[in-house]
Amino acid sequence: MSTLILDKNAVRRLLGMPEVLSAVEEAFRLHAEGKAAMPPKAYLTVERGDFRAMPAALPGCAGIKWVSVHPGNLSRNLPSVMAVIIYNDRETGYPLAVMEATIITAYRTGASAAIAAKYLARKNSRTLGLIGAGYQAHTQLMAHAGIFDLEKVNVFDISAEAVSNLIKAFPDLPLRRSSIEEAAASDIVCTLTPSRRPIVKREWILPGTHVNAVGADAAGKEELDPAVLKAATVVVDDLKQAASGGEINVPVAQGIYSPDEVYGTLPEIVAGKRRGRADERQITVFDSTGIAIEDIAVAKLIYERARAQGGYPQVELV
C-alpha cells in the first residue's frame, strides 16, 4: 500500500466548489444522524498564534487536520492560516493520503457559510456583503455565487489593496468597494476579519438579514455588536466550539449572552430536525467556528478523485 502526497497544486486542481458544497452538506446530514464522530478541537496556543488539532470520522474514512492560525503572517508574505490533513482508512487506520489543507479550509468554510445561507437567508437574497476581503473572502464569494443569483456584492476591508485584489480576482461577478455600513446592509453579510472587538453595529443590520459570522474562531475574537446576537436567531456549527471560540464566545464570557439562547446547529437544520428561516423579517446569524467533519468530507472527495485520475505522487510512508 502507499500514501498519496497531494500538494497545493494537486489539491487546487482536484477541488471544485459545487462538489464541496454537496460534500459538506452531506457531512452535516450524517453528523446530525449520528453517523459521524468528532471529538472537540484541541488548541495549542503559542506566542504569535495558535495550532488546532481537528480529528473526525465519517463512513469509510477518518482523518485529522493540523492547522495553524498566525494573524501576523501577512507582513511576512505567508498566509495567516496554514493546514495539513492526514486522511486514513477507517477500517485499518492506514494513512491513505497527506494533503495540503489550507485551500480545503477556505473551500469548506465558504461552503458551510453558503449552506447556512441556503437554509437561513431569504430565498430572494440578491446582495452579499463581505466585511474582510482576505483569503477567506474568495471562497465565501465562490460558494455564495454557487447558490444565490447575486446582483451586487458590497466589499469592505480596512485594506484598500485587499478590496482591489478581490475585485480583480472575480471580473465576472458584480463586486463593488463599499463602506462597512453598506456591506452590513446587504441581504447576506459575511464577516471575515480577525477582529477582537465588535465592528458591525446593531443599527446597520436590516430586518430579514442573514449574517455569517466567520472570523471569530478562537477565544477573544468577535466581530458583531452583541446586540445583533440578541436580536437574531443564532445557529452554530457546534455549540461547545462556538461558546468557547466562536462569535458568541466573548458575550458568553461577559455574561451578556447565554449558550442556551442559541436556536440550534446547522447540521440539525440540514437534516430537517429543526426548521430554517421562519419569516421574512427574522435576523439570522450563523456562528461558524469550522468543524472537522467538513475537512474530512472534502479530503474524501479529493482522495477519491486523485485515485480515480491517477498520476499523483505516492510514498511508502509507513
Instruction: Tell me which residues touch ligand NAD (CB under 6 A).
Output: 69, 74, 80-81, 105, 109, 131-136, 157-159, 162, 192-195, 199, 214-215, 217, 288-290
User: Is residue 248 within 8 Å of 242, Cβ to Cβ?
Assistant: yes
Q: Which is nearer to ligand NAD, 79 or 306 (CB)?
A: 79
User: Is residue 117 within 8 Å of 174, Cβ to Cβ?
Assistant: no
CB of 78 to ligand NAD, least distance (A): 10
The H or E element that residue 29 is part of is: helix 17-32
Q: d(Cα 195, Cα 183) in Å, to the nearest integer?
A: 16
Give the C-alpha distances (Å, rounded to integers) separating 207 from 25, 119, 142, 147, 266: 27, 17, 25, 21, 21
Q: Which is nearer to ligand NAD, 127 or 289 (CB)?
A: 289
CB of 218 to ligand NAD, least distance (A): 7
| CA-angle at 51, arms to 45 and 53, nearest 5° | 120
CB of 313 to ligand NAD, least distance (A): 27
Task: Point out which residues pair with 57 in neighbouring strands.
Answer: 37, 62
CB of 117 to ligand NAD, least distance (A): 14
| CA-angle at 138, arms to 133 and 143, nearest 5° | 130
Q: Which is nearer to ligand NAD, 237 or 312 (CB)?
A: 237
Supply the DSSP symbol for 305. Answer: H
Cell numbers of 277, please?
428561516
List the beta strands (DSSP E) in 35-143: 42-46, 49-58, 61-69, 81-89, 95-100, 127-131
Q: d(Cα 198, Cα 221) in Å, to the nearest integer?
A: 9
CB of 259 to ligand NAD, least distance (A): 17
Q: Which is nearer to ligand NAD, 74 or 227 (CB)?
A: 74
Q: Which is nearer to ligand NAD, 240 or 307 (CB)?
A: 240
Q: Which is nearer to ligand NAD, 65 or 96 (CB)?
A: 65
Q: Is the C-alpha dihedral spanning 38, 27, 108, 222 positive or negative?
A: negative
- Compute the CA torsion angle 278, 38, 55, 285 (nearest 10 deg): 20
Instruction: Identify the active-site residue in 8, 35, 41, 65.
Output: 65
CB of 88 to ligand NAD, least distance (A): 22
Q: d(Cα 203, Cα 53) in Å, to the nearest integer?
A: 38
Whether residue 65 lies in the annotated active site:
yes
Residues tagged active-site: 65
